[in-house]
Amino acid sequence: MSLTYEERKQTILARLSTEGKVQVHALAELFQVSTETIRRDLDRLEKEGRLRKVYGGAVQTRSERIEPTFIKRAQMHPGEKRAIGQTAAALIGEGETVLLDNGTTTLEIMRALKERADVTVITSSVPILACALEGFQGKVIFAGGDVNLGIQAATGAIAHQLLEQFKVNKAFISAGGISLSDGITEYNLEEALLSRKMMQRTEESILVADHSKFGVTTFAQIAPIEHISMIVTDRGCSQEWIEALNRLDVEVLIGGQS
């Protein structure tokens, strides 16, 4: 029995999410339908804004949106981010020093660390610094520099020079998008470069991202996915993504699960 368009659509979108592109002939063979049927499917999906057709197939629609403000991002998937933050914070051992890059999910890690007097946090994020000043029992170091009011974080040469002085146990990295073909990406180049520097100054890099970031490519690459050891995400992360990450030897933890 042949699959309906809706059934084929879900498989096509899942493959796009994990692989970044699909080929007409490969899909026709997979679904046992004609190449014309697949081309019609891709036409419909392109009109829906779900992909972009190219010669012989289709690719992901790149995220061309302007990044939402920090306050607006904090209001998106708040429950998932809280669970991710709590699970990520539990990974931090006694006496460890960690880097937190600038993000609404890494902010949740800071909130979960409030009672941890044994932890040192280094960050370039103004909201994370402000959170730490509201009763954090441990030690906080601000990697200052030119404070970008738009992204509410320190960036530039001074911040990079300060980070060069440290070697830490873990770095928790946020992202604008995660793609198997394009890696971990961010909307802002300066933020991407600073997150990359943090990854260079740590023993272990851990990505914290809710499910909406998967299959998305934004402007500037932070690093290939293989450069991280673990992703902490939420229950919305698809099984296809979990399997793809495991094939890259990247461990996946689901926030809120014991």
Question: Is the pLDDT assigned to residue 205 strictly greater than 90?
Answer: yes
Q: What percent of the chain has pLDDT over 70?
A: 93
The domain locations on the chain are: 5-60, 70-254
Asked if residue 215 lies in contact with residue 58, where contact means CB atoms within 8 angstroms, the answer is no
Domain 70-254 has CATH 3.40.50.1360: yes
Task: State which fold the 5-60 domain adopts.
Answer: Arc Repressor Mutant, subunit A (1.10.10)
b/e per residue, 59-74, with b = 16+ CB within 10 A? bbbebeeebeebeebb
Question: Is the pLDDT assigned to residue 257 strictly greater than 80?
Answer: no
* pLDDT tens, residue by residue, 37-49: 999 999 988 887 7
pTM of full prediction above 0.85: no
* pLDDT tens, residue by residue, 218-247: 889 999 999 999 999 999 898 889 999 999
Query: Residues 164-175: what's their mean pLDDT?
Result: 97
Strands in 21-23's sheet, in edge-to-edge order, are 21-23, 57-60, 51-54
Asked if residue 51 lies in contact with residue 59, where contact means CB atoms within 8 angstroms, the answer is yes
pLDDT band at residue 59 using 50, 70 and 90 as cut-offs: confident
* pLDDT tens, residue by residue, 103-116: 999 999 999 999 99
pLDDT band at residue 11 using 50, 70 and 90 as cut-offs: confident
pLDDT at 67: 56
